[in-house]
Amino acid sequence: MLSVGWTPIVGNDANIKHPTILEGSVYVDFNESFQYPHMYMHFPLEWAFLFTDRLAFWHSDLLLSFQDMQYCAELFENLPDGHTAAYKTRASLLRFWEIPRTRRFFEVIGCTTKSASQSQFDHGCGWWRNYQFHPNYKDSFSPKGFAGDHGFGIMRWHRYHGGSAKHVNVSMVGHADANNTRFTKSKEEDLNSTYSLAQICKYLGIEELL
């Protein structure tokens, strides 16, 4: 996002001791005082209202065209306080009866604001999996089967708690999600053995970033 004027904040999981930090980026070790064995980006997202007015987030395995990057930068910069933006998944029309239960806001890319983060925390409907177990979740509704992934809580917040969540309309062509080996290899090995970074960048027209 440096190319469109944003400052990348780079974090890392505990299994990566020395992450690559490009010039112009800022490294923040959110796990420095906790020292948890693992910490994913959903943890700082849960507490965004405590340390920033807005926070954009982006999976490390998602590549975007320059056009989509510019679109996201403008969308995130103009996002009003109290709003969240994220990619809303699509369900198959062949199983239309499951659409209301299976659609979620996917944290592959998005942005949250201070008041939205606070509201999501207060309602127990944030980015963590199985939001129904959040200590602040007081609804009588108990989801079954479809709440075990990130983003279903945000959809609940959006639909039933007056939360404003906007779809981030970008291409997922550059999402290198290697499901076939995700549980048998590290993320780096997973991506290297399943995708060609050079081919993806060429397809998206961002070879100069390599």
Per-residue tokens: 24: 């112009």
Contact 71, 178 (CB under 8 A): no
Residue 6 lies in a domain: no
Q: 3-state DSSP call for residue 27? A: strand
Average pLDDT in the chain: 85
pTM: 0.85
Stretch among 87-96, 119-128, 187-196 having the lowest mean pLDDT: 87-96
DSSP 56: E
Residue 18 lies in a domain: no
Structural domain boundaries enclosing 83: 41-175
User: Average pLDDT for residues 10-37, to the nearest whole number?
Assistant: 84
Residue 3 lies in a domain: no
- What is the C-alpha separation between 66 and 208, in angstroms, rounded? 11
pLDDT given for residue 188 in this prediction: 65
Contact 124, 137 (CB under 8 A): yes
Residue 32 lies in a domain: no
- What is the C-alpha separation between 12 and 176, in angstroms, rounded? 18
Residue 14 lies in a domain: no
Residue 188 lies in a domain: no
Segment 183-186 long-range contacts (CB within 8 Å, at least 24 positions apart): 186/15
pLDDT in tens, 77-114: 999 999 999 999 876 544 444 555 668 899 999 999 99
What is the distance of C-alpha 24 from the center of its chain? 22
Per-residue tokens: 116: 């939205």
Q: Which residue has the higher pLDDT, 124 or 2?
A: 124
Stretch among 44-53, 65-74, 96-105 having the lowest mean pLDDT: 96-105
Q: 3-state DSSP call for residue 86? A: strand
Residue 145 lies in a domain: yes
Query: How many folded domains does the chain comprise?
Result: 1
- Give Cβ neighbours of residue 186 (< 8 Å, ≥ 6 apart): 15
Confidence of residue 181 (pLDDT cuts 50, 70, 90): low
Residue 108 lies in a domain: yes
pLDDT given for residue 37 in this prediction: 87
